[in-house]
């Protein structure tokens, strides 16, 4: 059973076209939800940690939100340099981590 | 500051040859260390983790092994590589299990 599901698998946006990426999870007890950005051939880079439903975090054009069953990564007015794969990971109360397969974002100038 | 070093960045090895990938962490003590493999479209697969020197836990039975000879050093090894060992290998560390910091990764191609 998948613990973390990310959608869509791939997303193409025009520069300035805002959108959202989804991360849904099914772990029984959430300790934390993490968002990472990964550029091709590089390791994932930490973006945000969310711990409880209703929490929001922002960084430049990115905003992460959390509910009891899912998290959204909102991208406002994206630029080509925002193109990357965005990974979601969930840590349960047993300290197990589960990663999603990522959303590949392409922002077209 | 806390940093993680992983090398080499790319590696091409023949089938049946040995493997040694090294990861070192700076700026922290007694970190939890991890080796992950990432396959296209399949996400990150945890291979090994270590909570201390000489303490290795394996998540997936395979052709690989890991060792932690020093507090901040984590090594991924194989005696004989298989074609199926090809992939992108990532080392990571965490303190108190709150999120990861990843290395830059090693692209291994077994030919």
Residue of A7, A29, A32, A43 to mutate, testing the B interface (most B Cβ within 10 Å of its Cβ): A43
Within 8 A of A35 by CB-CB distance, chain B residues are: none
CB atoms within 10 A of CB B73: 16
Q: Is B80 helix (H, G, I), strand (E, B) or coil?
A: coil
How far is CA A70 from its chain centroid?
A: 10
Question: Is there a contact between B90 and A44 if contact means CB atoms under 8 Å apart?
Answer: yes
What is the average pLDDT across B23-38?
A: 91
Count helices and strands in chain B by DSSP H and E runs: 0, 11
Helix (H) or strand (E) holding B12: strand B10-13
Query: Are A36 and A87 in contact, with CB atoms under 8 Å apart?
Result: yes
Residue holding tokens 């991208």?
Answer: A75
Q: What is the pLDDT of residues A41-91, one digit of tens each?
A: 899 999 999 999 999 999 999 999 999 999 999 999 999 999 999 999 998
Question: Is there a contact between A97 and B107 if contact means CB atoms under 8 Å apart?
Answer: no
| Cβ partners under 8 Å of residue B66, min gap 6 | B35, B47, B48, B50, B56, B58, B74, B75, B76, B77
pLDDT of residue A1: 62
Question: How close B71 comes to chain A (CA, Å)?
Answer: 21
Question: Is there a contact between B6 and A45 if contact means CB atoms under 8 Å apart?
Answer: no
Hey, is the C-beta of B44 within 8 angstroms of any chain A C-beta?
yes
pLDDT of residue B61: 66
Poorest-confidence range of A68-77, A89-98, B92-101?
Answer: B92-101
């Amino acid at each position: 059973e998948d613990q973390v599901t990310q959608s869509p698998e791939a997303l193409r946006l025009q520069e300035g076209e805002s959108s959202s990426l989804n991360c849904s999870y099914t772990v029984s007890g959430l300790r934390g939800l993490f968002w990472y950005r990964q550029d091709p051939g590089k390791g994932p880079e930490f973006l945000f940690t969310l711990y409880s439903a209703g929490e929001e975090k922002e960084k430049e054009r990115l905003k992460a939100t959390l509910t009891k069953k899912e998290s959204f990564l909102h991208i406002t007015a994206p630029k080509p340099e925002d193109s990357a794969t965005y990974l979601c990971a969930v840590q349960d109360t047993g300290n197990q981590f589960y990663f999603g397969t990522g959303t590949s974002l392409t922002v077209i100038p | 500051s806390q940093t993680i070093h992983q090398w080499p960045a790319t590696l091409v090895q023949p089938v049946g040859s040995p493997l040694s990938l090294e990861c070192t962490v700076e700026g922290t003590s007694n970190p939890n260390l991890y080796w992950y493999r990432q396959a296209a479209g399949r996400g990150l697969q945890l291979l090994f983790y270590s909570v201390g020197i000489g303490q290795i836990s394996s998540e997936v039975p395979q052709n690989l092994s890991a060792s932690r000879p020093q507090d901040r050093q984590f090594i991924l090894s194989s005696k004989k590589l298989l074609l199926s060992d090809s992939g992108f290998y990532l080392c990571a560390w965490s303190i108190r299990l709150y999120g990861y910091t990843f290395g830059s990764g090693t692209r291994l191609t077994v030919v």
